Every structure is written in structure tokens, then in C-alpha cells.
Amino acid sequence: MDWPAILLSLKLSSLVCGFLLLIGTPIAYWVTFSRWRWKFLVESVVALPIVLPPTVLGFYILLAIGSQSPIGRAWAAWSGHGLAFTFEGLVIASTLYSLPFMVQPMAAAFSQVNHQLIEASSVLGASKLRTFIRIILPLAMNGVITGAILTFAHTMGEFGVVLMVGGNIPGVTRTVSIAIYDQVQSLDYAAANRTALLLLLFSFAVLCVVYGLNRKSWAVWPLRR
């Protein structure tokens, strides 16, 4: 079993999941409640990683963080090394790649919250932030958890973007899916099978949790009709 690759994947997924909880929540809130007429443009951009081939996304991210780009140069000036083919670059790429998997379940759950409860909260003197924390977030918790789980699992399994942006450096950018690819390339089918089976069971367990949670959500709204 290729434990360094598995641990690297777990570390990457946790970081991406954490970042996306921070970035995705305000985006999901804005997407749900904004009445801006060009909102659909932002929604489309957020959803792009779902339809785009990972190689396309990876290619543009590589260009954007490469040593020629402003972002790449700024990072290099600050940290002393480039972003491409590093773990940090991988985190940025994965965060973008998994954005819709965090934002869409959250936005769906936010919009399910009875609007009258939000109005009642503001009539009672609560600010938008307080309304979000005390009313919207608890009532949409299923969506947040679903988003976090899907993000985590999606990052665990990504391949194309990692290969484009991170390459294949053991202990730095060599994640589980790349390790399986390597094992197959070197005709070590037994090792590939062990790793692949682990990933398969993990993904199945994750989806069980997601669907189990969402079925429960039917029983969570006692006041809704």
C-alpha cells in the first residue's frame, strides 16, 4: 500500500474542504440571495469545473500560476519558489476544481429555507449576518455537510488536474489516483488493485453518508408544508 500517497491525498482533501467552507459559503449565500440581473454569469463560472475536462482546467490553472504569470511571480517573490508542481499549487487548483461541489448543495439548501423565517428574523432586529448564523445556517446544515463531504471525496479522486498542475513528485504532489496510475503503468496490478479498492470503498461510504443525510432532511422540517 502506498501510504505516503494516501496521506498526501487526505491532507490535500482536508485543506481544500476547509478553504472551500470559507470561500464557498459567501459565494453560495450571494448566489442564493442576490437579485443582480447578471447573476447567471457567476453561476455559470462556478459550475464550469463540472463540465470542463480536467486537462483544460488544469492547463489554464498551470498558465495562471506559472512562473510567467503575475500570480506565479508574486508568489515566487514572497515565498522564494514557484507555484507550479508544488503542493500549494495543487491546493489552489483543487479548490477551484471542487468549487461547484461545495457551492451547489449549499446554495440549494439556503434557498430551501422558508423566506418568511428570514423576514421574521430581520423584523426582530437581527442583522443579515446574525440571521445567517442563527437561522439560515442551522436550517441548511444538511446542505453544508453534503457540500463538505462531496468536496472532500471529489478531491480524493481527482486525477487530471493534479497531473497537469502538480505533476508526479512522490511525497509532494503524488496523490492516490496518480499512484494507481503509476502502479498500472509499471504493470504492478496487485498493488493498483489494493489502492483502487480502498478508494472505491471510501467513495461508496461517502455517498452512503450523503444520501442518508439528505433522506433525513425530509423529516427535519416540522413546520413546513
Partner 1 sequence: MKLSVDLQKRLSPNFALDVKFAIPLGVTMLFGASGSGKTTLLRCVAGLIRPDSGQIKIGDQILFDSNARVDVPVRERKLGFLFQNLALFPHLSVVKNIEYGLDGLDRTHAQQRTEDILKLFRISGVRNHKPSEISGGERQRVALARALVTDPHVLMLDEPLSALDYPTQSQIIQDLRAWNAARNVPILYVTHSQREVFALGERVIGLENGKILGQGTPQDVLETPTQESLAQLAGFENFFDATVVSISKDSGTMLCKLDGAKTEVEVPLSRVDVGSKIRVAIRAGDIIVAGEFPRALSARNIVPARMISLRREGAMVIAGIDAGRRFEVHLTPGACESLSLKPGQQVWLVTKTHSWRLVAGTMGSARSR
> Rule CB under 8 A: which residues touch partner 1?
114, 116-117, 119-127, 130, 134-135, 138-139, 221-224
Give the residue with the Cβ less far from partner 1, 142 or 183. 142
Residue with cell 442551522: 138
CB of 115 vs partner 1, minimal distance in Å: 9
Cα 86 from Cα 167, distance rounded (Å): 9
CB of 142 vs partner 1, minimal distance in Å: 12
Q: Which residues of 136-175 are buried (b: 16+ CB within 10 A; e: fewer)?
A: bbebbebbbbbbbbbbbbbbbbbbbbbbbbbbeeeeebbb
CB of 105 vs partner 1, minimal distance in Å: 19
CB of 32 vs partner 1, minimal distance in Å: 18
* DSSP secondary structure of 108-157: HHHHHS-HHHHHHHHHTT--HHHHIIIIIHHHTHHHHHHHHHHHHHHHHH
Cα 153 from Cα 114, distance rounded (Å): 30
CB of 97 vs partner 1, minimal distance in Å: 33
Residue with cell 483543487: 94
